[in-house]
Amino acid sequence: MKKILELLTEEMQAAFEAAGYDKELGKVGISNRPDLCEYQCNGAMAGAKVYKKAPIMIANEVAAKLADSTIFKEATAVAPGFLNLRISEEFLAGYLQEMAQTDKFGLEKPEKEKTIIIDYGGANVAKPLHVGHLRSAVIGESIKRILRYAGHKVIGDVHMGDWGLQMGLVMTELQERQPDLVYFDETYTGEYPEEAPFTMAEFAEMYPTASAKSKTDENYRAKAMEATYKLQIGVRGYRALWKQIMNVSVPDLKKNYGSLNVEFDLWKGESDVQELIPGMVQYMKDGGYAYISEGALVVDVKEETDTKEVPPCMILKSDGASLYNTTDLATIMERMKLYQPDEMIYVVDKRQDLYFEQVFRCARKTKLVNEDTKLRFLGFGTMNGPDGKPFKTREGGVMRLENLVSDTKKQMYTKILEGREMSQEEAVKTANQVAVAALLYGDLSNQASKDYVFDIDRFTSFEGDTGPYILYTIVRIKSILSRYQEQGESLESLKLSKAGNEVEKDLMMQLAQFGTMMEAAATDIAPHKVCAFIYDLANAFNRFYHETKILTEEDAEKKASWIALLIFTRDVLLTCIDLLGMEAPDKM
Ligand code: ARG
């Protein structure tokens, strides 16, 4: 379906043309003065220069051509030359009726269905997930859902950090505690045990302990580096232990991400591409891209137009070891081979932006990607505490994601039980859904690149621009609909008729914007646009609700039309919250 603004624009363009002006002037947008009109067109202002005529004269002539329009109810020329517009209620209702009956509310397929890989999550195995990982996970997940809904083939990859020093640290700590484990016996040739030599609880505490020790104890750190090295060169026992660590960590990570409705298609990690590195290095050398500088192998990536210094991309250190970017480049190479993506999007802390600039340039220069492969870095800002500094626990430590989620759920549970009749089981389920919505919406409603303040009291409030407010609105609609059914009525094949007052019309106009919003959210990979849209929609609905006695209305046709409008509003809201990773309860 064409977007509503396209249809309004076409009508306006025809009027400009009929009045003898260039039709390109007829662009219609949403009014920025809703007190004066619903839509507006500023084309006469632009036309004045071209036609050397007072803008108000042009506007008057165009307005006259719209006198009999079935799309515009009112087109008024106002000084100095704006066209103030109101849409016809019949037309609007017809448009919504068609939207409601069309797949995806009439959203058109993209010109080209692209294959897009989203690299998000970025958990480091063995290290606990912290709140920084929250942002990557929830933003990436939402972008995945938005792009999929928009009609693309999207693959989400968690890209775990599973090959670095943290692995060596955990192994060293394990060796301190259980020196006799067969994994550390390099003469051992038998099978390794199936059971991991630690419990999840022990494992969770091992990395922080090891990391603290390595900061004060040189010797310990050297051991951890050696263990990392042994793992990387393939010493049997270390590889076997690595597998054990993965077997314990990955299910735990899945559970943690799952608690936020985050799901990945691929559980790949840095380790998966290690074998590709030697070949890639050779290729970069053979192509004349990489050269030795101060012992290290590098690729120059600076460009003439640079205003800041962009250092060379280091491929191998002087000791031959690979680095974070070596792995990222090898991953790009592997993704091109396996999936031929048109686009790769990285959802990572914005402090890594120079790093990704280097990686992307290097990938392009060395032709690891095709000329038209799009590499996009979506850098997100920091989640701050109320003091404006990066969010910490009350004790000042790094907050674990797990604790953040469970604390929020507990807080919400108390709130849900207050003054509500609900079984404990239902209260737990509802509290979880509302708490997750509070966290997700609190994050996603901000433009990703900006820092934001994590304010749990505000995020969990049932009023204002919050996830719980949106859910509350959906629950309100659901409850009216079930009461309507209790009156013995059916929710099937109800017809929308034209709006009878301003609040109703306002709600309809808001719904009509769905397609425009979706296109913008997908093109700009911007979940906050979905949030802003549903917040406006929820507000428009609640204004309508407060002014309308729906269930006691005697005019059956009117009542049925309102119910149809409610169903439509509910469906649009449910679709949108799903794009954010949120779920709505039946009661709250
Ligand atoms: N593991 C990294 C971190 O915690 C994030 C990974 C980001 N993705 C990537 N392809 N480099 O900082």
- In terms of Cα–Cα distance, which of 43, 29, 51, 124 is closest to 81? 43
Whether residue 348 has its Cβ less than 6 Å from ligand 1: yes
Angle at 221 between CA 219 and CA 222, to 5 degrees: 65
Non-local (6+) Cβ contacts of 580 within 8 A are 142, 145, 440, 441, 444, 527, 530, 531
Q: What is the pLDDT of residue 391?
A: 87
DSSP string covering 217-238, please? -HHHHHHHHHHHHHHHHT-HHH
pTM score: 0.95
d(CA 26, CA 116): 35
The count of other CB atoms within 10 Å of the CB of residue 201 is 8
Give yes or no for a contact between 290 and 367, defined as CB atoms under 8 angstroms apart: no
**Quick check: 467 and 437 in contact, CB under 8 A?**
yes
Whether residue 139 contacts residue 524, with contact meaning beta carbons closer than 8 Å, is answered with no
Strands 452-453 and 153-157: unpaired
Count of helices and strands (H, E) across the chain: 20, 13
The alpha-carbon radius of gyration of the chain (Å, integer) is 29
- Render each residue's pLDDT in the chain as its tens digit; 588 residues: 999 999 999 999 999 999 999 999 999 999 999 999 999 999 999 999 999 999 999 999 999 999 999 999 999 999 999 999 999 999 999 999 999 999 999 999 999 999 999 999 999 998 888 888 899 999 999 999 999 999 999 999 999 999 989 999 999 999 999 999 999 999 999 999 999 999 888 888 999 999 999 999 999 999 999 999 999 989 999 999 999 999 999 999 999 999 999 999 999 999 999 999 999 999 999 999 999 999 999 999 999 999 999 999 999 999 888 899 999 999 999 999 999 999 999 999 999 999 999 999 999 999 999 999 999 999 999 999 888 888 887 777 778 888 999 999 999 999 998 877 888 899 999 999 999 999 999 999 999 999 999 999 999 999 999 999 999 999 999 999 999 999 999 999 899 999 999 999 999 999 999 999 999 999 999 999 999 999 999 999 999 999 999 999 999 999 999 999 999 999 999 999 999 999 999 998
Q: Where are the beta strands (DSSP E) in 255-351?
A: 290-293, 296-299, 313-316, 343-349
For the domain bounded by 401-579, which CATH number is listed? 1.10.730.10
If you take atom 10 of ligand 1, which residue's CA is the nearest one?
328
- Interatomic CA distance for residues 322 and 327, integer angstroms: 7
Say how many C-beta atoms besides its own lie within 10 A of residue 50's C-beta. 11
In short, whether 120's Cβ falls inside 6 Å of ligand 1 is no
Angle at 206 between CA 200 and CA 208, to 5 degrees: 125
Peptide bond into 80 cis (omega under 30): yes
Q: With contact defined as beta carbons under 8 Å apart, do 555 and 448 qualify? A: no
For the chain, domain boundaries: 4-87, 165-258, 401-579
pLDDT attached to residue 68: 96
Report the distance separating Cα 267 and Cα 191, nearest Å.
26
Q: Which of 120, 124, 360 to mutate to test the pocket of ligand 1 (most atoms within 8 A of CB)?
A: 124
Say how far apart CA 375 and CA 356 lie, in whole Å.
9
Query: Could you tell me if the CB of 360 is within 6 A of ligand 1?
Result: no
Contact at 8 Å (CB) between 335 and 117? yes
| Rounded Cα–Cα distance for residues 384 and 209 (Å) | 26
Mutate to test the pocket of ligand 1, among 133, 157, 271, 352 (most ligand atoms within 8 A of CB): 352
Rounded Cα distance, 419 and 16, in Å:
60
Residues 6+ apart with CB under 8 A from 534: 470, 573, 576, 577
Q: How far is the CA of 383 from the centre of ligand 1 (A)?
A: 17
Q: What is the pLDDT of residue 204?
A: 86
Write down the pLDDT at residue 354. Answer: 96
What number does the ligand 1 atom closest to the CA of 161 have?
A: 1
Distance CA 264, CA 123 (A): 12
Atom index in ligand 1 nearest the CA of residue 123 equals: 1
Ligand 1 centroid to Cα of residue 9, in Å, is 45
The third-level CATH classification (topology) of the domain covering 4-87 is Gyrase A; domain 2 (3.30.1360)
- Looking from the CA of residue 160, the nearest atom of ligand 1 is 1
Residues pairing with 273 in the sheet: none
CB 208 within 8 A of CB 215: no
Q: How crowded is residue 500: how many other Cβ atoms within 10 Å of its Cβ?
A: 14
Q: 264 CB contacts (<8 Å, ≥6 apart)?
A: 121, 156, 157, 158, 257
Q: How far is the CA of 348 from the centre of ligand 1 (A)?
A: 7
Q: Is 161 in the pocket of ligand 1 (CB under 6 A)?
A: yes
Q: In what order do the strands lie in the sheet with 313-316?
A: 290-293, 296-299, 313-316
| pLDDT the model gives residue 103 | 97
Q: Is 321 left (phi over 0), alpha (psi -120 to 50) or beta?
A: beta
Query: With a 6 A CB cut-off, is 124 part of the ligand 1 pocket?
Result: yes
d(CA 330, CA 275): 9
Cα(207)–Cα(126) distance, integer angstroms: 6
Cα angle, residue 385 at apex, residues 384 and 390 outer, rounded to 5°: 45
Helices (H), 234-276: 236-258
